[in-house]
Chain A
Amino acid sequence: MREKINQRVSVVTVFSAKQRAAAPYLISWQNKDYQVGKIGYHHTVRQGETLHHIYELVDKDNTMSFRLNFDTSNLHWTLEAVSDGNSY
């Protein structure tokens, strides 16, 4: 199953000075908290002048994957899609 969501979500982000990187740590969606496990890929894309950070990751239990979009113009997070890794 893979589903497009495109909803604003609450995300806790952690910045590590040691690793010199910021990354999502926890996602709140549909009244449930998902702790981030592995970040599979992080890249940036521009829409006009606005830079977006796209994170594709799985939760710590390896049950669900998330595609998150961080809009640097307003610092909002959008959950673009979720999947359970099975046939779509």
Chain B
Amino acid sequence: MAIPINKTPPTIMHIDLNSCFAIIEQQANPLIRNKPVAVAAYDTPGGMVLAASYEAKALGIKLGVNVRQARELCKGVIVLMPDPAKYRDAHRRFRRVLGNYTSDVTPKSIDEFVIDFNGSPAIRQGRALTDIGYEIKDEIKKSLGEYVTVNVGIATNRCLAKLAANLHKPDGMDVIDAANLRETLATIELTDLPGINVRYEARLNTAGIYTPLQFLAANGDHLKKRVFKSKVGMDWHYRLRGWEVDNVIWGRKSYGHQYALSNKTTDRQKLSQLLMKLCEKTGRRLRGSGHTASGIRLWLSFTNHQYWAKGKDTKNQMYSTQDIYLQAQKLLNQVVMPDNVTNMSVTVYKLVPGYPEQLGLFDSLPAGQAGTRIDTKALARAADEINDKYGEFTVMPAIMANMDNVILDRIAWGNVKDLY
């Protein structure tokens, strides 16, 4: 059965902040407006650019370029380190503005939201979504600042709304509906479609699909059985026709932290120190969410572009930083390092709500004696309470002494569930 193009009026809006980190910095400091600005993970020559202002982007400075390369492209580029507290504040203000229009607002990352206006008061009043979009742009300027601009995309599903938001930057407003769908798809490449990366593009190419219009014309069963070899193919068939397949909310499945080493090394003592800090940050979030975990994964990458990764299930539920660190260190001890470590991450998974009550077989000391699971749990809670009151790392494991601010606060890519 042929699936038709969705001809219902668009009700999905995708909004994202243009060059989020850079534009917030230009809003904060009027002296750097209309200048090339790059926000980099570190302001040292090897630091990676995370966000660039439109003036910097016009000179080729973008995500993935390092500071040395950025200065070669533009000698006068202003390089800043990130200010996560400010970006989180901007995100919350953004969220409050959108919440004035409907409760169905979903954050996709620190700087983008999806709003479903279906059944909202605005739709019931007969207002055009483009009018609402322009009004939101004004309200965001009032809340975040006059220099802040957003892109707005409107369509019948999340994928096409995001595509619409990407069509004209900065400060764009675009609608994709049944009337202009083909005309819009004719102007873009396959990798412009949200979710189609170079690997998917290659897979489509081997099936003779080179353009979005060819992708649209492809048979759904063929995409499912031959091209993607899964329901992903049929999802794309529906998605390109404007039908919604992406309004799924995924629960939290893991907590983790990653660190890009500023001083690359094979020194196991230094790596253990960094590992402890990653485990402490992970543990704080795990405990704060009221979960324990029984899976852990360690990942390292090296200067020679190789990587090492291993995950394992733990016999006991992990709760305290020590629980997590013990397992992570065991994994680290298995690593044979071919070169200096460049990145390291720890992730805990198999989350279970609640606190660890089930004692391990060898946790046989009476309660209250050092080393028991009950003691460890109480110690973790006490340390968390002190850190909540006086600031992060007021109390920390001894191995982390003299680390100062080695692992800095950063904004994660993707979901921002922890902000709420």
Contacts and interface: CB of A to CB of B under 8 A. Distances in A.
Interface of A: 2, 38, 40-41, 43-45, 47-50, 54, 56, 58, 62, 64-65, 83-88
A80 to B, nearest CB: 11
Contact of B388 (A40, A48, A84, A86): A48
B384 to A, nearest CB: 12
Given A48-B394, A54-B85, A85-B35, 4 more contacts: A64-B31, A65-B29, A83-B32, A85-B78
A43 B24 CA distance: 12
B29 A85 contact: yes
- Sorted from nearest, which 10 A-B pairs have the closest CB atoms? A85-B31, A41-B28, A43-B89, A56-B28, A48-B391, A48-B390, A45-B85, A40-B28, A47-B391, A87-B76
Contact of A40 (B27, B79, B90): B27
6 contacts: A40-B145, A49-B389, A65-B29, A83-B31, A85-B78, A87-B77
A83 B43 contact: no
Nearest to B80: A88
Nearest to B390: A48
Contacts of A85: 29, 31-32, 35, 78
Contact of A49 (B80, B86, B388): B388
B126 interface: no
B30 interface: yes
Contacts of B78: 85-88
Instruction: Tell which of B24, B30, B80 has the most Cβ of chain A within 10 Å.
Output: B30
Nearest to A59: B31
Nearest to B71: A87
B145 A41 contact: yes
Instruction: Tell which of A41, A45, A88 has the most Cβ of chain B within 10 Å.
Output: A41
Contacts of B273: none
Contacts of A84: 31
A43 B91 CA distance: 12
Contacts of B30: 38, 40, 58, 62, 65
B330 interface: no
A87 B85 CA distance: 23
Nearest to B24: A41
Nearest to A44: B89
A70 B124 CA distance: 45
B253 interface: no
Contact of A88 (B43, B85, B145): B43
Contacts of A41: 24, 27-28, 86, 145
B113 to A, nearest CB: 19
Given A47-B391, A86-B76, A88-B43, A62 B85 contact: no
A65 B27 CA distance: 12
B102 interface: no
Interface in B14-49: 24, 27-32, 35, 43
B294 interface: no
A26 to B, nearest CB: 18
A56 B145 CA distance: 12
A84 B31 CA distance: 7
